[in-house]
Amino acid sequence: MSGHHEEEFVPRGTWVIVGIFVVLLVLIWGSIYWMLLQYGPTV
């Protein structure tokens, strides 16, 4: 049955885009956090 095959379809491209987006967010916030740590607690 082809209907059963369609139910198992996984949008891999969407998950790749979501994964890249999450990684970019982590890198951006990580760099901001690192800059804040470099300035010290006087900020």
5 belongs to a structural domain: no
Count up the domains in the chain and report the number.
Answer: 1
Range of the domain at 16: 10-39
The 10 Å CB-count burial string (b at 16+, else e) for 9-33 is: eeeeeeeeeeeeeeeeeeeeeeeee
* CB 43, CB 36: distance < 8 Å: yes
- Give 1-43 pLDDT, tens digit per residue: 444 555 567 778 899 999 999 999 999 999 999 999 988 776 5
Q: Is residue 4 part of a domain?
A: no
Q: Is residue 1 domain-resident? A: no
Provide the pLDDT for residue 7: 59
Q: Which of 23, 35, 18, 42 is nearest to 10 (CA)?
A: 18
Which of 24, 20, 1 is closest to 12 using CA atoms?
A: 20
Structure tokens at 22: 């999450």
This prediction's pTM = 0.58
In a domain, residue 35? The reply is yes
